[in-house]
Amino acid sequence: MERVLVTGGAGFIGANFVRHLVSQTDARVTVLDKLTYAASTEALVGLPGSRVRLVPGDIAHADVVEPLVAMHDTVVHFAAESHNDNSLTQPAPFVTTNILGTFTLLEAVRRTGARFHHVSTDEVYGDLPLDDPARFTEDTPYRPSSPYSASKASSDHLVRAWMRSFGVRATISNCSNNYGPWQHVEKFIPRQITTLIDRGRPRVYGAGCHVRDWIHVDDHCAAILAILRSGRIGETYLVGADGERNNLEVVRTLLRLFDRDPDDYDTVLDRVGHDLRYAIDAAKIRRELGWEPQYADFEAGLATTVDWYRVHEPWWRRHKAASEAAYAAVGQ
């Protein structure tokens, strides 16, 4: 792992991962990123220019991908269209980037033999009932619900097919909902934090009973590095930190952190096809790789994240109005 190509390294998790990789290894890193609305080159500012370079480009373009992959021994693949709500209004880029983009990368690593790590989501497994202790494991059947999760499921299948059919050396991780620095204001937690900074009222879809299994982005990044270092080729690892909370609980925790009344929120139109509950059993990565989440206290992690958004207001401010206008247009 001397020369690492990180796709989507200017996005939320990718940029946090590049920072983690630079601090924990001697690797030289190339970020390949299309710099969509979701990218933040600011998130890479301050990293040593001798070790990190940014190449703007599209993972679905073979003429960009092939020569770059040939220069690297490892590819860590984050690049994606990542937001469920956008996939419901405009699904086309989800198919192009998440499916064709992954295909293009796989064809390149097939030729060069580079090690490939595919970053995926627990949403490929569909949802779980609310009143059931069951959690996802690596053996749970695929049952994606949204255009986003179906496109990620497709990409996972392509990775497995390229491993089995062509001997591509790959691993896959499926992680639960991340929170932390540099997450776009369209996502649930940053949307509510930035609305509260603006003294507005959080917006909860439907009854707010939907459950997500929250993990701090630093814990996710450490899990990916552990897989790169000692994961078994061909294996899938589920990543989660036992952080199940329903959306109303998260909003009420935020309201408390802002000294606001617990009922100071609005319910808005529910998401179409809204997955009820995600929950990860991360026993395999804990047992095999010794990975443990460091952010055991979700409320403390949330408080740190609130502080981060207060300090980084100039960064998120420029996206906030457009993001809220897009939500307003669909009644959310």
Residue 7 vs 140, nearer CB to ligand NAD: 7
Q: Residue 144 binds which one of ligand TDX, ligand NAD, none, with CB within 5 to 8 A depending on kind? A: none
With CB under 6 A as the contact rule, the residue among 205, 258, 308, 315 that binds ligand TDX is 205
Residue 241 as a binder of ligand NAD (CB under 6 A): the answer is no
- Name which of 10, 18, 75 is nearest 51 in CA terms: 18
Q: Is 212 in the site for ligand TDX (CB under 6 A)?
A: yes
The verdict on 119 binding ligand NAD (CB under 6 A) reads yes
Write phi, then psi, for 138 (nearest 5 degrees): -65, -15
- Per CB under 6 A, the list member of 11, 190, 202, 301 interacting with ligand NAD is 11
Q: Which two structure tokens, joined as six digits, stand for 278? A: 């995600």
| Euclidean distance between CA atoms 53 and 56, whole angstroms | 10
CB atoms within 10 A of CB 70: 13
The reply to whether 84 sits near ligand TDX by the rule CB under 6 A is yes
Q: Which of 81, 85, 148, 179 is catalytic?
A: 148
Catalytic residue of the set 33, 123, 127, 324: 123
Which listed range, 2-10, 155-163, 199-207, 220-228, lies at the site for ligand TDX (CB under 6 A)? 199-207
Tell the smallest beta-carbon distance from residue 202 to ligand NAD (Å): 18
144 φ/ψ angles, rounded to the nearest 5 degrees: -65, 150
List % helix, strand, coil for the chain (3-state, nearest 5).
45, 15, 40
> Is there a contact between 247 and 204 (Cβ–Cβ < 8 Å)?
yes
**DSSP secondary-structure letter at 245?**
E
**13 touching ligand NAD, by CB under 6 A:** yes
Residue 247 binds ligand TDX (CB under 6 A) = yes
Pick one of 77, 210, 216, 320: the residue that binds ligand TDX (CB under 6 A). 210
What are the backbone angles phi and psi of residue 201, rounded to the nearest 5°? -110, 130
* Cβ at position 60, least distance to ligand NAD in Å: 5
Minimum distance from residue 17 beta carbon to ligand NAD (Å): 9
Which residue matches tokens 């080159």?
A: 41
Cβ atoms of 10 and 54 within 8 Å: the answer is yes
CB of 227 to ligand TDX, least distance (A): 17
Helix H or strand E segment including 55: strand 52-56
Joined together, the tokens standing for residue 194 give: 């930035």
CA distance linking residue 217 with residue 182, whole number of Å: 10
Q: Which residue is nearest to ligand NAD (CB)?
A: 11
Could you say which of 58, 123, 218, 219 contacts ligand TDX (CB under 6 A)? 123
Q: Interface with ligand NAD by CB under 6 A: which residues?
A: 7-8, 10-14, 32-36, 38-39, 58-60, 78-82, 97, 101, 119-121, 152, 175, 177-178, 184
Active site residues: 122-123, 148
